[in-house]
Amino acid sequence: MSLCLAVIRIGAYIGVFVVFVVIGACGHVLFFMSRTCLLTWIAFFARWWARVTCRVFNIQIQIEGDASLKPGSLIVANHVGSPDIFVLGSCFKGFFVSKAEIADWPLFNWLARLGQTIFADRSKRHQVKAVIGEIEARLNSGHSVILFPEAQATDGTDVVPFKSAVFEAAVLANRPVVPVEIRYHDGHQPTIAYYGDSFISHIMTLLKTPRLSVTVMVLPEVSAGADRQTLAAISYQAIRDKHQRDAGLNGQ
């Protein structure tokens, strides 16, 4: 039964993939002279892509807190696994900052590039300034940016201290930072959302799972008046404190 579910979902997602690649390509053709219009087009349809993907995987999302964020907010969250992108993308309209390796993944790289993802290669220090500049530009244009400052996926048992460099964009743009905690409720330790050492095995597990429930907790925004190290520390502590409180309530 689970194998049949996986096959059905693969077929459904191929259709979703084709539709949104066409939509993304149309946006680039229609608005090649206007980056402002292109970003607005992409942000709108990227959210619908995430919502449709959650429907295909039957990811049930419960939002706590105020999700009506100010335009141009820097949204930062703990990173558990690949569903985080679909989950946050369906909750918030914005653009993702992703590790550079995704730009080389077959199929996924098409959607990421068409979706105007900002690619960050932390192994190349000279690129960090360019990434910060691109994030600042998106924030200044009224588009929110979503990123995972742990710079790695964890098994969900704790939150790793945040890298502070990208928070400089919020300082320069004078935009608020919104900490968000993601928690999956599948009874597994670690959660099946965590992709560990084998991404292919992880995807197959997700495809075979009938339902995945997740809570997205939107915490109070942090003013950009502080320096990047302070912003990173405050955001990290807010998410980690909430994460530990939730773990305690669930007896983990």
Confidence of residue 148 (pLDDT cuts 50, 70, 90): very high
pLDDT-above-70 percentage for the chain: 92
Give the pLDDT of residue 250: 64
**HEC sequence for the chain:** CHHHHHHHHHHHHHHHHHHHHHHHHHHHHHCCCCHHHHHHHHHHHHHHHHHHHHHHHCEEEEEECCCCCCCCCEEEECCCCCHHHHHHHHHCCEEEEEEHHHHHCCCHHHHHHHCCCEEECCCCHHHHHHHHHHHHHHHHCCCEEEECCCCCCCCCCCCCCCCCHHHHHHHHHCCCEEEEEEEECCCCCCCCCCCCCCHHHHHHHHHHCCCEEEEEEECCCECCCCCHHHHHHHHHHHHHHHHHHHHHHCCC
189 or 173, higher pLDDT: 173
Least confident of 20-29, 104-113, 167-176, 222-231: 104-113
Mean pLDDT of 228-246: 94
Q: What is the pTM of this model?
A: 0.92
Average pLDDT over all residues of the chain = 89
Whether residue 238 has pLDDT greater than 90 = yes
Give the pLDDT of residue 138: 96
d(CA 102, CA 228): 26
* 7-18: pLDDT as tens digits: 999 999 899 989
The token pair that represents 31 in the structure block: 């608005």
Give the pLDDT of residue 102: 64
Mean pLDDT of 232-248: 91
* 191-227: pLDDT as tens digits: 888 877 777 888 888 999 999 999 999 999 999 877 9
Whether residue 54 has pLDDT greater than 80 = yes
Confidence of residue 127 (pLDDT cuts 50, 70, 90): confident
Give the pLDDT of residue 171: 96
